[in-house]
C-alpha cells in the first residue's frame, strides 16, 4: 500500500522533460514569386495533443487547392514541414519548408525538389489581436502558493511565474509528504484574466500532461488542475507577499470514482 501511494505521489507531482517551443497556432499568410508565377499560401497550424498539425489553402495562376503537410516538426523557433505536390501522370515532387519563427512572422525557405527555392515571410493573420491580448494580459510575475487535498493527502505548491511580452514561463516546486520536486512549466499562456500552463510528467516511459487553467482575481488565481485521465483538483493559489496571503485550500476529484 505504501509503495502504491508513493508511485501515485510521483504521478501527481511530475517531472520536467518537455522543451520550450514557439507558439505558432493560428493562421499565417505568405506570398512569393516562383517559376510558375505568383503564389499565396494561407497556413493554418493547430496543436493536437502533443503533435502539431499543418495545412494550407494555396492560390496560384493554376487555381486553388488544399494542402495537408507532412513531417511537421517544431523545435524552439525552428519550424519544418513538407508537402508532396502532384505534378501529373502519377508523379509527385517533395517541397520542403524550413521556417524561423518570430512573434508575428515566420521567415521561410521553400525548396522545390532540385528545381528551385524561394525565400518569403508569412505573417500572422491575427497579429493585431495577439498584440492587444499581450497588452491586456495581467502581470502575475512572482511566487504563488497553494495547498490542496488529493486522494494521497495534502499537496503544497509554490508556482514561480514570469510574464514578459505577453508570454508566460515558470516553474513549480511541489512538496508531497516531505518529497520535494521542481518542474519546469510549459505551454504558458496568459490573456486578460485567464492563465494556462502544463506541468509535464514522465512516468514508466509514459508522457502525462498535468494541465492548469486559472482565473486571475487580484492576488488570487482560481485553478482547475487536470492530471491526465486520473484526477482533477480545484484550488486557489495566493500571491506571496500580498497582504491577504494565507494557506490556500482546494478540492480533489478522482476520475476513476
28-66, pLDDT tens digit by residue?
Answer: 999 999 888 899 999 999 987 778 999 999 998 888 999
Number of domains in the chain: 2
Are residues 182 and 118 located together in one domain of the fold?
A: no
Considering the domain boundaries, does residue 13 fall inside one?
Answer: no
Q: For residue 252, name the pLDDT band (cuts at 50, 70, 90).
A: low
Residues 247 and 161 in one domain: yes
Residue 12 lies in a domain: no
- Based on the fold, state whether residues 179 and 244 are members of the same structural domain: yes
The answer to whether residue 95 sits within a structural domain is yes
Q: In terms of domains, do 110 and 145 share one?
A: no
Q: Kindly write down the DSSP assignment for every residue of 160-228, as one continuous string.
A: EEEEETTEEEEEEEEEETTEEEEEE-EEEEEETTEEEEEEEEEETTEEEEEEEEEEEETTEEEEEEEET
Nearest Cα to Cα of residue 232 among 203, 256, 248, 200: 256
Shared-domain flag, residues 116 and 36: yes
Of the candidate ranges 62-66, 143-147, 154-158, 250-254, the one whose mean pLDDT is the lowest: 250-254
Q: Would you say residue 153 lies in a domain?
A: yes
Listing from the earlier edge strand, what are the strands of the sheet with 78-88? Answer: 63-68, 51-60, 37-48, 26-34, 116-124, 105-112, 91-101, 78-88, 70-75
Same domain, 51 and 116: yes
- Boundary residue ending a domain (125, 150, 168): 125
Residues 141 and 96 in one domain: no
Using the 3D structure, point to which of 125, 149, 174 is the last residue of a domain.
125
pLDDT computed for residue 44 by the predictor: 95
Classify residue 10: in a domain, yes or no.
no
Gap between the Cα atoms of 210 and 233, Å rounded: 11
- Would 19 be classed as within a structural domain? no
Residue where a domain stops, chosen among 81, 99, 125: 125
Q: What angle do CA 203, 208, 211 make, to 5 degrees?
A: 140
Any residues with CB less than 8 A from the CB of 101 and at least 6 apart, and which? Answer: 22, 24, 74, 77, 78, 79
Instruction: Name the residue among 16, 11, 72 with its Cα closest to residue 187.
Output: 16
218 and 149 together in one domain:
yes
Q: Looking at the domain assignment, is residue 203 inside a domain?
A: yes
Q: What CATH number is associated with residue 39?
A: 2.40.128.120
First-to-final CA distance of the chain:
18
State the residue range of the domain holding 205.
136-254
Q: CA 138: distance to chain centroid?
A: 19
Average pLDDT over residues 226-232: 88
The confidence score (pLDDT) of residue 137 equals: 62
Q: How far is CA 103 from CA 55, 79, 235, 251, in A?
A: 20, 13, 33, 38
**Average pLDDT in the chain:** 83
Together in a domain, 74 and 150: no
pTM beyond 0.85, yes or no? no
Within 10 angstroms of residue 25's Cβ, the number of other Cβ atoms is 13
Highest mean predicted confidence (pLDDT) among 8-12, 166-170, 210-214: 210-214
Residue 156 sits in the same domain as residue 247? yes
Residues 140 and 250 in one domain: yes
8 within some domain: no
Residues 142 and 113 in one domain: no
Cα 220 to chain centroid, rounded: 23
Amino acid at each position: 500500500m505504501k509503495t502504491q501511494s508513493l508511485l501515485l505521489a510521483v504521478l501527481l507531482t511530475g517531472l520536467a522533460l518537455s522543451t520550450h517551443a514557439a507558439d505558432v497556432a493560428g493562421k499565417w499568410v505568405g506570398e512569393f514569386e516562383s517559376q510558375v508565377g505568383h503564389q499565396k499560401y494561407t497556413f493554418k497550424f493547430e496543436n493536437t495533443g502533443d503533435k502539431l498539425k499543418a495545412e494550407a489553402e494555396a492560390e496560384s495562376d493554376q487555381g486553388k487547392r488544399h494542402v495537408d503537410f507532412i513531417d511537421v516538426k517544431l523545435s524552439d523557433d525552428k519550424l519544418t514541414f513538407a508537402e508532396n505536390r502532384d505534378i501529373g501522370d502519377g508523379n509527385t515532387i517533395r517541397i520542403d519548408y524550413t521556417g524561423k519563427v518570430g512573434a508575428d512572422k515566420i521567415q521561410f525557405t521553400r525548396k522545390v525538389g532540385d528545381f528551385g527555392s524561394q525565400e518569403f515571410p508569412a505573417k500572422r493573420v491575427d497579429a493585431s489581436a495577439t498584440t492587444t491580448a499581450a497588452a491586456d494580459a495581467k502581470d502575475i510575475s512572482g511566487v504563488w502558493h497553494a495547498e490542496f487535498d488529493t486522494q494521497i493527502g495534502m499537496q503544497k505548491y509554490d508556482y514561480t511565474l514570469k510574464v514578459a511580452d505577453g508570454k508566460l514561463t515558470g516553474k513549480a516546486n511541489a512538496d508531497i509528504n516531505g518529497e520535494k520536486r521542481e518542474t519546469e512549466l510549459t505551454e504558458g499562456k496568459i490573456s486578460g484574466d485567464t492563465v494556462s500552463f502544463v506541468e509535464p510528467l514522465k512516468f514508466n516511459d509514459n508522457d502525462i500532461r498535468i494541465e492548469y487553467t486559472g482565473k486571475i482575481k487580484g492576488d488570487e488565481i482560481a485553478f482547475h488542475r487536470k492530471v491526465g485521465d486520473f484526477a482533477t483538483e480545484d484550488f486557489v493559489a495566493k500571491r506571496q507577499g500580498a497582504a491577504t496571503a494565507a494557506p490556500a485550500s482546494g478540492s480533489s476529484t478522482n476520475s476513476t470514482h
